[in-house]
Amino acid sequence: MASITKRGRYWRVQVRRQGYEPEQGSFDTKKEAETWASTVESRMLRRVFHDNKQAWATTFADALTRYKEEISVHKKGAKQESTRIARWQAHPLATRQLGSLSSNDFATYRDELRKAGKATNTIRLDLALVSHLFTIARKEWGMPSLLNPLQGIRMPAASNARERRIGAAELKRILDASDQSALPAVLRLAVETAMRRSEIVTTLAWNQIDLGARTAHLPDTKSGVPRNVPLSSVAVALLEALPGHRKGRVFDVTPDAISRAFGRARKRARALYESECTETGTEPDPKFLMNIRFHDARHEATSALFEKGLDIMEAAAVTGHKNLEMLKRYTHLKAGNIAAKIDAASAAAVDSNIPAPHPGEKLREYLPTPSKIALISKQIGIPKRELMEIIAGRGRIDAGLAVKLEVLGPRAEMWIEMQAHNDLQVVRRRRDAAKAGSEHHHGRTGADVHKFSEGDSPVDPQLL
C-alpha cells in the first residue's frame, strides 16, 4: 500500500508491495502523489511495473554530464549546449536526485530567470534541454518509470521575431571601425550571400568555390542539408581580393572571434557618431548603430533578395531555409520600398499624362527640417544646397547620390526608380504637348497661322 506524507513544500510517497522493493516519489501536490501511487500499485498488481531505483540513485548533475557526453556531442550546437549544461550544473537543483525533481522546481527556476531579465528564448532553451534529458533517461537509461516534470509546466511564450536590419551607413561605419583583419571581408560576404557566420569562417573552403561559375558549395550547414550559394559580382570580387594561397579554409578565424570583433567595431562606430553629433550640435539617432548583431547581416541579406526580385523558392535556395515560416522570420521588407513599388505599379496603370511626383517630395519626408538636412549633408558628403534644390524639385538624384541616400533607410533602387519615373513622365508630357501643338497648327486658318507666328502659341517653346 502507499504511504503519503508532506515534507516541507513537497508530498513524499512510498509504495510497498510484496515482491517489489519499496518505491518512492516526490510531488508538488497531494493529488499528484495519489495519482502516481495509484499508477504504481496498479502496475505492480499487473506485474508490469519497472522500478525507479536508478532515478533515485542518479543526481541531476550526473545525468547532465552523461547527456553532454552521449547526446550533446552529436549536435551542431554542442558548444552552446555545453555552456547551458554548465549553467545548470552550477544551480542548486543539480545536487538533487532525478526522481526527486518536480514540476514546481522547474517552474520556480523559470520564474527566477524571468525576474532576472533573461531573454525568453534563453529560458525556453534551458527548459527544453532538461525536458529532453528526462525523455532520454526514461527511454534509454533504464528509468522507464521516471516522469518528465517539464510536461507539467507552462513554457514561456516564443519571443517576437527579430526585425533588425543593418543599414548601408551603419555597415560602412562598422567596417571602417574594424580592428580585425578578417571582419570586413566576412561581414560583406554575409551581407552579399546570406551565409551564416559559421558557414563563412568554418565551412567555406577554396576547393568548394568556383569563381568562374560564381558558386560556393557548403557541404555542412546548420540544417544538415548541403547547398550551393550563388556569388554576386561583389562577392566574387571580395574573394578574389583576399591575400594568401587559395588552399584550405578561406578564413583562418573562429566564429566567436568574428562576433567579438564585430561588437568592438560597432561600439567604436557609435562613439564616433555621437562625437560627430556633439560637434554639429545635433541630437544622435537613438537607433543608429544600436542593437545590432553580426547575425543581423543574414536578416539584411535575406530581405534584400526579395527586394531584388527573387521569388520564395529562389531566396530559400540561397539562404538554406527549409520552410516558409523560418524564411519569414529572416525577411523584413521595408515599408518605404513596398510603398514605392505600389506607387510605380499604380503610375504604370494610369494615364501617362498624370504627373509623377518628384523624388524631392519623398526626400522631404526624411529631411523635414534644416537641421536634419545639415546633419545628413555632412554625413554623406553632399552640399546642403544641393539637397535643398532636390527637395524643392529643381535637382536630380543620380545613381551616386542614390547610394549615399541609403543612410536614410530606403535602398538606392527606390530613389533611382522614382527619379527615372519622374524623368519619363516629363519627356512624355513634352512629346504629347509638342504633338498636340503640331496638330493644332496644321488645322488652323491663315489668320490663325498669322496669330501663331506672332507668338500666341499654346505650347511652351521650351517643350518643343
Is 222 designated active site? Answer: yes
Catalytic residue among 330, 358, 411, 421: 330
Catalytic residue among 196, 270, 332, 421: 196
| Rounded Cα–Cα distance for residues 210 and 234 (Å) | 15
Is 322 designated active site? Answer: no
**Bridge partners (DSSP) listed for residue 209:** 216
Is 364 designated active site? Answer: no
Is 20 designated active site? Answer: no
Which residue, among 70, 139, 133, has the nearest Cα to 98 in the 3D structure?
133
Place of cell 541579406: 301
Rounded to 5, what percent of the chain is helix, strand, coil? 60, 5, 35
**Bridge partners (DSSP) listed for residue 11:** 6, 27
Catalytic residue among 138, 165, 321, 332: 321
Catalytic residue among 87, 118, 132, 295: 295
| Rounded Cα–Cα distance for residues 300 and 406 (Å) | 13
> Which grid coordinates belong to 96?
538533487
Q: What are phi and psi of 292, to 5 degrees?
A: -115, 135
Is 330 designated active site? Answer: yes
CB atoms within 10 A of CB 395: 18
Q: Give the distance from CA 72 to its chain's centroid.
A: 25
In 96-241, which ranges are E strands? 209-210, 215-218, 227-230
| Rounded Cα–Cα distance for residues 71 and 389 (Å) | 65
Catalytic residue among 197, 298, 299, 358: 298
| Rounded Cα–Cα distance for residues 45 and 43 (Å) | 5
Sheet with 10-15: list strands edge to edge.
2-7, 10-15, 23-27
First and final CA of the chain: distance in angstroms?
A: 107
Catalytic residues: 196, 222, 295, 298, 321, 330
